[in-house]
Each structure stands twice: as C-alpha cells, then as structure tokens.
Amino acid sequence: MRNLAFRFVTQAKSPRPQDIAIHVVDPHLDLRSQFTDVSSFQSELRQRNLAKVDVAKIADGYSHWWQSYQAFSEVNQEDHQAKREAKAHLSAHEKHLIDALKLPNRLSSGSTLLDAQFEPFSAIEPLCKSNSVLQTAEALELRLFDAFSPIRLDPPRMVRPAVTEAFNVSSKDVVRFHEGQNPAMHLVGVTPPGLLVSFVASRFTSTNTFPLTFLARGVGYSRSFHRWERHFVSGLLLGLDQSSLLSRLNALRTGIEQTVSSYGQPSTRVVDPKNLRPYEATAALTSISGIPTARFGYAGSYLSERLQIQTDPPKGSKGVKFLESAFFEVDVSTLVDKLSGL
C-alpha cells in the first residue's frame, strides 16, 4: 500500500529502481465510517475466511493515525518546525493507515445481483462456435454493442502499482514489468484495474446519464491465469447508486447468457463471500457445463474513494460524491479452448 498511500508513508532511502514508489493519487483518507460497527465488519471478515484479521485492533490504530493526520492538517504551513514534527508523528503511525487500506470491501446487504429488475431488451442471437479467440471476442463485443449501446473503451495495458493496490490485488498475482532504471509497472490489460485506470482522479458532471457502461475486448494478464494471459470481453459500469448499477449489470448478465448459450446451458450463482475478490461487495459467476465463463462484480464506492472518481454532489449538499462501480468479464479463452468442442 506504499504506492497508494505514497504521501503519507515513508519510503525506502535507496530502493532498487523497480521498487521505487510513484505517487498517482491521494485516496480518500477518512475511513472512520468503516469502523462504526466493528462487530459487523468482523463477521464479514469471517465470511471471507479472514477471521484472523482483528478489526477492533485496526480500528483503534487507525483512530490514532486519523488524530495525527488532523493535527498535521491544522499546522500552520509557514511554521516549518511544527510541520516537521507533525509529519514525523504522522509517519510514526503509518502502519495503522496501511492496515486500514488493506481491509477488503464491506459486503453488500439486501437484494443480490440476480434479484435486480431491469428494462427488457431485444433478444440477442447466440454466438456461432468458432476456434478463433479473436473472431469470438469480436462477435461477442458486437452483439453487446447492438443490445446495450455501451461506450467503447481501449484501456492501457499497464498501470502503476498504486492502482492494483487500490484493488487489493495480491502481489503473487501481479505481472510486473520493469525496464532499465524506470519504476515498475503492472501488466493488467482488460482486467478491472485496466478498465478503471483511465478515470483515476476524474470528476463526472451531473449532466451524464448514469449508469455509464464501458466495453473493451483484448488480453487480460495475471499470474493466476494459464501462461499469465487470457482473452476477455470486459466491461465497467459507473453509477450513482447500488440499485441502478445492479439493474444494469443483471441486464448485461442476462444478455451475455443469451449470447453464449450456443456453448451450453448457462447457469449463474451468487459468489460466496469467501470467494469474492477483495474489492467486491457482491458478485455472480456464470458457468457452462460447470466451467466458469463470466463474472459480474459490484464494488460500490470502495474503488472510487481510493482512486478519487467523483461526480457532483446532490444540490444543497457539501463535500464530494464518489461514484459506484461494477465490472463484468467474459472469458473468451475458456469459451474457445474448453467449450467449443462440447
């Protein structure tokens, strides 16, 4: 988390070039709302198989860091001695900030993705089976464009480590890219970090018609993938609230099921908390013949708070409004390599 919290932690004095931290954006640092119900949060971590993480201890430590941060913020900027002392006190508590940022998203309560109602759309023609990953991805993308009119997105293939840290991506899954004396980058492709990076430190005006749907196709990278890469058709949704995002995501899920039905009868289930990704509040997984084919995840404002993705607050309100996000990924490599012959 030293890249994400760059300005609020000490850095190694002589790091190797590939270990140099780079400032990208300051995350939203007021995490106090996470700890208003410590017992509930602890229960959620048990459901995620993270029972050893002590929320009460982290909450207490973060409280000390927050007090130090407030004191630092209130120091007269022209009083250099006081500023240095306050910064040193803040740095002494940096572990507490890092521990708080390492915590996963809160679990979603209420209705699930599969319960969300959505406006009807025209039936989508199923894909014709093909042994070509590129042709299958292109055909799937075209059908989704025709049915849902998303915005085309061509994301960068690499991101700064601060972005993968915002997603709480495990270091063992990250594909690092380093050249010469340049700081390391992470190769992500069209996985969720790659989709969201284009909007880091962005502010959307209230004139946008939310939710916004972005669509991309290409290669995604992770050490957890076979040979570290897979072809995907992926999407990002940005919206104002959970209800509208889940509604749109469930419509896309239904359309994607129609599209891939030529490979077999799709079945979708809600993902157990223990199998959620750290940034997901809830998710659903579509399988064909028991083989996972597509994933649909809702992150709430967890990522937007970390990467400063905002919109105008409601009229009469002060402060900022962080957008909520959701993602979907159709694993085209799996469709072609494992299901074409069924």
In angstroms, the CA 108 to CA 121 distance is 27
In angstroms, the CA 184 to CA 168 distance is 17
Q: What is the pLDDT of residue 157?
A: 93
- For 7, residues 6+ apart whose C-beta sits below 8 A from its C-beta are 23, 26
In angstroms, the CA 274 to CA 47 distance is 6
C-alpha distances out from residue 193 to 234, 272, 339, Å: 11, 22, 27
Q: Would you list the DSSP string of 305-332? A: HHHTEEEPPPTT--S-EEPEEEEEEEEH
Judging by DSSP bridges, how do beta strands 185-187 and 282-288 pair with one another?
A: unpaired
In angstroms, the CA 309 to CA 320 distance is 10
> Six-digit token pair at 292?
């996972």
Helix (H, G, I), strand (E, B) or coil at 255: helix
- Is residue 236 within 8 A of residue 321, CB to CB? The reply is no
Residue with tokens 């306050």: 86
Q: What is the pLDDT of residue 341?
A: 64
Q: Which neighbouring-strand residues pair with 286?
A: 268, 294
- The closest alpha carbon to 65, from 94, 88, 42, belongs to 94
The ranges of the chain with pLDDT < 50 are none
Give the number of other Cβ atoms within 10 Å of residue 128's Cβ: 9
In angstroms, the CA 81 to CA 161 distance is 33
Q: What is the arrangement of strands in the sheet containing 185-187, beginning at the earlier edge strand?
A: 158-159, 185-187, 175-177
Give the number of other Cβ atoms within 10 Å of residue 272's Cβ: 12
How much is the pTM? 0.94
- Is residue 99 within 8 A of residue 63, CB to CB? The reply is no
Torsion angle, CA of 110/46/6/325, rounded to 10 degrees? -20
Q: What is the pLDDT of residue 175?
A: 92
Task: Walk me through the domains of the chain, giving residue ranges and CATH numbers.
Answer: 6-101 (no CATH), 113-339 (3.30.930.10)
Is the sign of the CA dihedral 335, 163, 65, 63 positive or negative? negative
In angstroms, the CA 273 to CA 160 distance is 28
- The closest alpha carbon to 8, from 100, 105, 78, 93, belongs to 93
Which residue stretches of the chain are H helix? 38-47, 55-74, 80-92, 94-101, 133-148, 161-166, 192-196, 242-260, 302-307, 332-334
Instruction: Work out the end-to-end distance of the chain between its first and last CA atoms, rounded to an integer number of angstroms.
Output: 44
